[in-house]
């Protein structure tokens, strides 16, 4: 049996794949406790692999987002990836970057968190396609300069995501920062604007 918080079909609302239809698979457990976290990652349901596969084939899209919680720390994530790849899925993930990246993923979004002092595990830094930093209340923009100055081995996309509940306060500061640091871009949570999950 697989332990999963939830799985659902929706649109990917943010980042490089924004606008794509996607199967979201949310895994239990996280090692951090961000103040604005909106995920009940300690509650899960058990489903059989047959039920998982049935749900994953309800739509013709073969793009999935493995998220959590912290999916890189969940022991069942490799099996979930294996099942999805068996169906031909392209799999993106979103991780807080505190752990090594599991195999089989085609796109890695690392979202370092204040709760971990914005530290990024060496393997996550190596495999990241996108760095997405949430600009929350009291955010210190200095941490972005530290991230920007890391010796990235690939052309990583650097994004700033205003915390949805703090949007009006953070947008002017984000605009000012990006004016001066054009390698960064703003990443909106468009799924919240259009009212889907
Ligand atoms: S890392 Fe993500 S899942 Fe974990 S507490 Fe922070 S926002 Fe929630």
pLDDT band at 47 (very low <50, low <70, confident <90, very high): very high
Confirm or reject: Cβ of 41 under 6 Å from ligand 1: yes
Summarize the confidence of residues 65-84 as an average pLDDT.
97
Identify the residue whose C-alpha is closest to ligand 1 atom 7.
Answer: 37
Residues 96, 70: contact at Cβ < 8 Å?
yes
Residues 64, 92: contact at Cβ < 8 Å?
yes
Identify the residue whose C-alpha is closest to ligand 1 atom 5.
Answer: 33
The predicted pLDDT at position 108 comes to 97
Q: Which atom of ligand 1 is nearest to the CA of 116?
A: 1
Give the distance (Å) from ligand 1 centre to CA of residue 8: 19
Give the distance (Å) from ligand 1 centre to CA of residue 134: 11
* % of the chain surpassing 90 pLDDT: 77
**Domains (range + CATH), the chain:** 2-194 (3.20.20.70)
pLDDT band at 194 (very low <50, low <70, confident <90, very high): confident
Cα–Cα distance for residue pair 37/147, rounded to 1 Å: 22
The predicted pLDDT at position 153 comes to 64
- Determine the residue of 32, 33, 94, 111 to mutate for testing ligand 1's pocket, defined as the one with the most ligand atoms within 8 A of the Cβ atom: 32
Taking only the tens place, the pLDDT of each residue in 4-40 is 999 999 999 989 899 999 999 999 999 999 988 888 8
Q: Any idea which residue has 């457990």 for tokens?
A: 29
Q: Which token pair is 64?
A: 């999935």
- Determine the residue of 25, 38, 41 to mutate for testing ligand 1's pocket, defined as the one with the most ligand atoms within 8 A of the Cβ atom: 41
Identify the residue whose C-alpha is closest to ligand 1 atom 8.
Answer: 37
CA distances from 159 to 16, 40, 96, 182 (A): 10, 25, 14, 11
Summarize the confidence of residues 133-146 as an average pLDDT.
91
Summarize the confidence of residues 53-62 as an average pLDDT.
98
């Amino acid at each position: 049996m697989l332990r999963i918080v939830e799985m659902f079909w929706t649109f990917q609302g943010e980042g490089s794949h924004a606008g794509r239809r996607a199967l979201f698979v949310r895994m239990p457990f996280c090692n951090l406790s961000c103040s604005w976290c909106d995920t009940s990652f300690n509650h899960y349901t058990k489903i059989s692999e047959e039920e998982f596969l049935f749900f994953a084939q309800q739509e013709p899209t073969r793009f999935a987002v493995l998220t959590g919680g912290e999916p890189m720390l969940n022991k069942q994530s490799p099996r979930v990836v294996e099942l999805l790849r068996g169906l031909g899925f392209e799999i993106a993930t979103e991780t807080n970057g505190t752990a090594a990246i599991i195999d089989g993923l085609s796109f890695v979004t690392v979202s370092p968190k204040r709760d971990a002092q914005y530290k990024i595990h060496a393997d996550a830094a190596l495999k990241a396609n996108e760095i997405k930093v949430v600009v929350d209340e009291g955010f210190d923009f200095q941490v972005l300069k530290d991230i920007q100055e890391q010796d990235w081995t690939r052309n990583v996309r650097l994004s700033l995501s205003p915390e949805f509940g703090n949007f009006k306060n953070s947008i002017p500061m984000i605009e000012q920062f990006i004016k001066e640091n054009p390698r960064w871009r703003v990443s909106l949570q468009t799924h919240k604007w259009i009212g889907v999950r």
